[in-house]
């Protein structure tokens, strides 16, 4: 089986009515270091980067996780052959990114992307 590993990015998708409170929790209560760059708010969360995304159409928060593989095609095929649902329509990805969206059996979203680190 192709190696798939956890990535460093965690995305918390938060309804608009909870967004400011969630950002304040990580910024002020936990005093997490805010990471500059990009339009979204993100914090250093141990060895990970925690993105806080405002998603007005949600009624409750969701956690989205990142997976990486040096062989995206084989990894995606392995997941699909295992019956793991893929749905690339849930959020647009940059055209330059080799990646896809998968759901674990509990419905948690996972971004599988090509690991381009040397």
Segment 92-107, tens digit of pLDDT:
999 999 999 999 988 9
Integer Cα distance of 58 and 17 in angstroms: 10
18's enclosing H/E stretch is helix 16-24
Higher-scoring residue by pLDDT: 40, 52: 52
Cα atoms in the 13 Å half-sphere on the side-chain side of 118: 0
Cα atoms in the 13 Å half-sphere on the side-chain side of 18: 15
The pTM of the full predicted model, rounded to 2 decimals, is 0.86
The sheet with strand 41-45 has its strands ordered as 34-35, 41-45, 48-54, 5-14, 62-69, 109-114, 99-103, 85-86
pLDDT of res. 106:
87
């Amino acid at each position: 089986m192709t190696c798939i590993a956890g990535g460093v990015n965690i995305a918390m998708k938060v309804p608009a009515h909870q967004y400011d409170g969630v950002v304040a929790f990580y910024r002020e209560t936990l005093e997490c270091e805010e990471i500059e760059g990009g339009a979204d708010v993100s914090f250093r969360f141990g060895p990970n980067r925690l993105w806080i995304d405002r998603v007005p159409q949600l009624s409750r928060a969701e956690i989205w996780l990142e997976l990486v593989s040096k062989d995206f095609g084989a990894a995606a095929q392995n997941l699909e052959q295992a019956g793991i649902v893929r749905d690339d329509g849930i959020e647009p990805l940059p055209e330059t990114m080799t990646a896809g969206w998968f759901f674990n059996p509990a419905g948690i979203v996972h971004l599988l992307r090509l690991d381009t680190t040397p």
